[in-house]
Amino acid sequence: MKASFAAPSLPQSGTLVLLAGEGPALAPLGEEADKASGGHVRRAMTAAKFEGKKDQSLEIVAPGSVKLDRIILLGAGDVGKLQPRDIEMLGGTAGGALQSAKATEAAIAAELPGKTSIKPGELAALLASGLRLRSYAFDRYKTKKKDDAPELKQVSVLTPAAPAARKAFQAFDAVADGVHMARDLVNEPANTLYPEEFARRAKELEKLGVEVDILDPKQMSRIGMRALLGVGLGSAKPPRVAVMRWSGGKSGTKPVAFIGKGVTFDTGGISIKPSAGMEDMKGDMAGAACVTGLMAALAKRKAKVNAVGVIGLVENMPDGEAQRPGDIVKSLSGQTIVVINTDAEGRLVLADLLWYAQDKFKPRFMVDLATLTGAVLVALGKEHAGLFSNNDELSERLTAAGQATGERVWRLPLASEYDKLIDSDFADMKNTGGRNAGSITAAQFLQRFVNDTPWAHLDVAGVAMDSPKNAISQSWASGWGVRLLDRLVAEHYEG
């Protein structure tokens, strides 16, 4: 669904969405619609006890005196307290209401009754962003589509600041494209999206001006990425590493770096997982999907930053050649790892990627994303990603960006006392510290491959796949992290 912007006037056909404040209170176009209907809108609000409270909605079949098909009222609550995030969610709610109403032609009035700190152009752009994010659907494998499902291709956003809205929406639109790309990648089945195919899709970012290099197993072996390669030994699908570079900042400026775990399917390897729910392990590459979608968003909106995205793409399968519990591997850093559990494979992938990124690109900071541990679900459920970091400033900026976008993070501890849980008698470390503090020991493991570079690890196991549905996401794959990290870059690292 696309959004267009136009001056506010009462449409002559289709469905009109109006935002109402508590009271209820209507904005100017709402008052105009009520007048044109002979007071029908207000009578319907009274009859339905619609008070404009947050999350209230009311669908009104337009009377004959109005040429519209219907009017949908959405409660915005206390207008003076609305934040940009709330407006974006209202846009998503509007998109859902239009889908439920099977609208084929629609407009939404980007007006609020009462005073708000949000400028008219930004208000309209945020509503359009919510509409776009909500419009996503993954149905490419359905051979039978619902014949009675109409298609709403475009919504007109009515605003007195149409030129400003168009300008502001360009960035939102680019980010929505990145979110949709990440959702597509996570939703794809593993027989379609295996390491080589994922790498090919990352390569397509070259059309946007992103430089993309793909490392094959021979190149990885030559470099010394043996921890990553060990994970893929049991699969007929050979691993890949995709290195994506966007050079939108000043020449010579150090890049920001994003690293993603891309296990395109995770059986657990020899330490095989239970069969129940294993089909969800097609989403064990959500970290890599986020990094790919983020790089696309930065390129599409011409972000004034130098950015690097590094993703490790591998399939973890049981086989006669597969890595065994007790095997010892030498990582790219030179540190050795004894593999206690082959289902703790994501940290092996990230260990080599983190070392590679910091050594090759000398970044200003590194953020890695991974569906790394089930333990983070026990700790935080599906509302927050786990945040671990060696840098307070980076952590605070990520936390603030999470509050602004709704992609929230919660910082968990790192401490030397946890290191003893991953120390080994046979190698420099083991790849799991056992049941206790599972998310923390995984992060402690990763920290050993970071040195002094400012770094944050985001454990997204609870938020990136099979995530809670909300006004802007009805998908199994949320595309989590694209909006968070784009906000981080835009606020602190561009220019």
Query: Identity (one letter) of the amino acid at 39?
Result: G
Q: Give the mean pLDDT of 270-282.
A: 97
* 408 noted as active-site residue: no
Residue 337 has pLDDT above 60, yes or no: yes
DSSP readout, 101-141? TT-SSEEEE---SS--SS-HHHHHHHHHHHHHHHT----TT
DSSP β-bridge partners for residue 33: none
> Looking at residue 495, what is its pLDDT?
82
| Pairing assessment for the beta strands 336-338 and 328-330 based on DSSP bridges | antiparallel
Residues 6+ away with beta carbon under 8 Å from 118: 82, 84, 87, 112, 126
Contact 445, 341 (CB under 8 A): no
Active-site hit among 54, 273, 382, 411 = 273
Q: How confident is the model at residue 80 (pLDDT cuts 50, 70, 90)?
A: very high
Residue 147 has pLDDT above 80, yes or no: no
> Looking at residue 151, what is its pLDDT?
80
Is the previous residue joined to 24 through a cis bond, with omega within 30 degrees of 0?
Answer: yes
Q: What region, left, alpha or beta, does residue 8 occupy, with left being phi > 0 and alpha being psi -120 to 50 degrees?
A: beta
d(CA 443, CA 245): 26
Average pLDDT in the chain: 96
Largest CA distance in the chain: 83
CA distances to 132, 378, 382, 412, 450 from 375, in Å: 33, 5, 12, 12, 22
Q: What is the DSSP letter of 467?
A: P
How far, in whole angstroms, is CA 51 from its chain's centroid? 34
pTM of this structure: 0.96
CA dihedral 204, 302, 392, 460 (to 10 degrees): -30
Minimal CA–CA distance to 5: which of 164, 241, 208?
164
Q: How confident is the model at residue 148 (pLDDT cuts 50, 70, 90)?
A: low
Active-site hit among 347, 364, 430, 448 = 347
d(CA 83, CA 89): 10
Q: Is 47 helix (H, G, I), strand (E, B) or coil?
A: helix
Contact 398, 484 (CB under 8 A): yes
Q: How confident is the model at residue 64 (pLDDT cuts 50, 70, 90)?
A: confident
Q: Is 217 helix (H, G, I), strand (E, B) or coil?
A: helix
Minimal CA–CA distance to 16: which of 86, 87, 97, 90?
97
Angle (CA) 178-304-354 rounded to 5° is 65
Q: 458-494: buried (b, 16+ CB within 10 Å) or exposed (e) per residue? A: bbbbbbbbebeeebbbbbebbbbbbbbbbbbbbebbe
Helix (H) or strand (E) holding 445: helix 438-447
DSSP β-bridge partners for residue 337: 329, 429
Residue 146 has pLDDT above 70, yes or no: no
| Pairing assessment for the beta strands 366-370 and 256-266 based on DSSP bridges | parallel
Q: Give the mean pLDDT of 53-70.
A: 92
d(CA 378, CA 394): 25
Q: How long is the chain? A: 495
Burial class, 399, CB count within 10 angstroms (exposed 0-12 / middle 13-18 / buried 19+) = middle
Contact 129, 172 (CB under 8 A): yes
> Looking at residue 34, what is its pLDDT?
95
> Looking at residue 1, what is its pLDDT?
83
Give the pLDDT confidence of 424-482 residue by residue, as tens digits.
Answer: 999 999 999 999 999 999 999 999 999 999 999 999 999 999 988 999 999 999 999 99
* 347 noted as active-site residue: yes
d(CA 235, CA 222): 20
Q: Give the mean pLDDT of 312-326.
A: 97
Contact 167, 121 (CB under 8 A): yes
Query: At what angle are helices 438-447 and 346-361 packed, to 10 degrees?
Result: 30
What share of residues in the chain are helix, strand, coil (percent, to 5)?
A: 40, 20, 40
Q: What is the DSSP letter of 281?
A: G
> Looking at residue 145, what is its pLDDT?
67
Contact 124, 165 (CB under 8 A): yes
d(CA 182, CA 269): 25
